[in-house]
Structure 1
Amino acid sequence: MAQRLATEYVNTTLQMTEFQMNQFLLTADTCYISHRVKVLGGGEQEIVLEENGGEAIRLNVERRGHLYICTFSCRVVNPHLNNAVRKLFVTYKGSGSVNRIYQGFTMEYYYESGSVRRISELTANGSKLIYQHKQSLSEMMTLFKSDAIEREIAALRLEIDSLLDCRLTVQSDKMIGEIDGKLAAINRRLIELEL
């Protein structure tokens, strides 16, 4: 089995509630890992996870409403620190790319809300798709039951009726031309939606 050399987290985002953030900070310290919290200007925070050997990563945390949004990009070599970041990423349903680097190749995992959506193998010869998420039956049923397009069509028809009523009362050729332009754009959109 290939030995992993490092793990890269690229443009990673996590969302935590205040309770989850406090829980994370309580469990972040282990016999191998310690943490520090720095308060930055504007109320943002930076959490530094540091391994006993000196390797550290920085997590930028911004509060938005009742959620804490944690963003980071880093390269982790130490297995204990890598395990701590992996648990954080999985527990709080991270989104972004995770590159697991081996001798001669890299496995790229793309996550959305904690679920793997795509796995690719990257080598000097190019990229090879290993796995691609397909929509589940429940996701397809939700999409099938969605009536967003029907609501947009109904709204566009109401707008057409309003523009036609307005066109009957307008005397200016310039105004009639503007209304006809709007009607043509709406008609194109209706054709797109009804296809």
Structure 2
Amino acid sequence: MAQRLAMEYVNATMQMTEFQLNQFLLTADTSYISHRVKILGAGEQEIVLEEAGGEEVHLSFERKGGIYIGSLSCRVVNPHLINAVRKLFFMYKGTGTVNRIYKELTMMYYYEGGSVRRISEVRPGGTKLIYQHKYSLVEMMSIYKLQTVEQEIEQERRKINRLLDLRNTCQHEEAIREVDEQLKVATYRLFQLEA
């Protein structure tokens, strides 16, 4: 198995409440990792996670209402620090790109709300898509329950029926041509909706 050299977080964000932030700070210190908090202006904070060997990760948190929005862009090499940041990103449903860097390739993971949405393998010769998120069961059920398209289809069918009834009662060629044009537009729209 390939040895991971580093992990890189690109424009990563996560959200947490003040309670969750305090809980994280209580559990952040281990025998390998320590932290310090820098208070910046306007309620912003910067948390610095430091590994015993000296490698640091800086997390900026901006307070918006009762929520802290954290942003992270860094490259981490130390395995203990990699693990701490990975747990933080996963626990607080991070969004952004995480690159797992190996000697000959980079695996790019795109996360949204803590879930992997896409995985790509990047090599010097090009990029290959490994995984693309498909709809989850919950997402599919919510789409299935949406009936706006079905309602629009029903409206188009009623409109077509009215136009057909009108066409059957028309006696002038010009009125029939006008109804036929409206039927053409309505049937095309019905075809689009059903597709």
Matching residue's letter, 1:36: R
Q: 1:68 to 1:150 in 2, by over 3 A?
A: farther
**Paired residues for 1:47-58 under 5 Å:** 47-58=47-58
Aligned to 1:140: 140
**Paired residues for 1:136-175 under 5 Å:** 136-146=136-146
State the distance in 1 between where 2:77 and 2:51 align.
11
Structure with the greater alpha carbon radius of gyration? 2
Report the number of matched residues: 156
Structure 1, residues 17-49: CA drift from partner, whole Å, max 9, x if none? 111111000001111111110011222110000
**4+ residue runs of structure 1 moved beyond 4 angstroms?**
147-151
**Paired residues for 1:80-119 under 5 Å:** 80-119=80-119
Aligned-partner SS, 1:109: strand
| Structure 2: stretches of 5+ with no match in the other structure | 153-188
Structure 1, residues 62-98: CA drift from partner, whole Å, max 9, x if none? 1111111111100000001101001101111111110
| Structure 1: stretches of 5+ with no match in the other structure | 154-190
Following superposition, the deviation at residue 149 of structure 1 comes to: 7.3
- Under a length normalisation based on structure 2, what TM-score does the superposition of the two structures give? 0.75
Aligned to 2:10: 10
Aligned to 2:60: 60
- CA RMSD, aligned part only? 2.0
State the distance in 2 between where 1:149 and 1:72 align.
41
Aligned to 2:28: 28
- Under a length normalisation based on structure 1, what TM-score does the superposition of the two structures give? 0.75
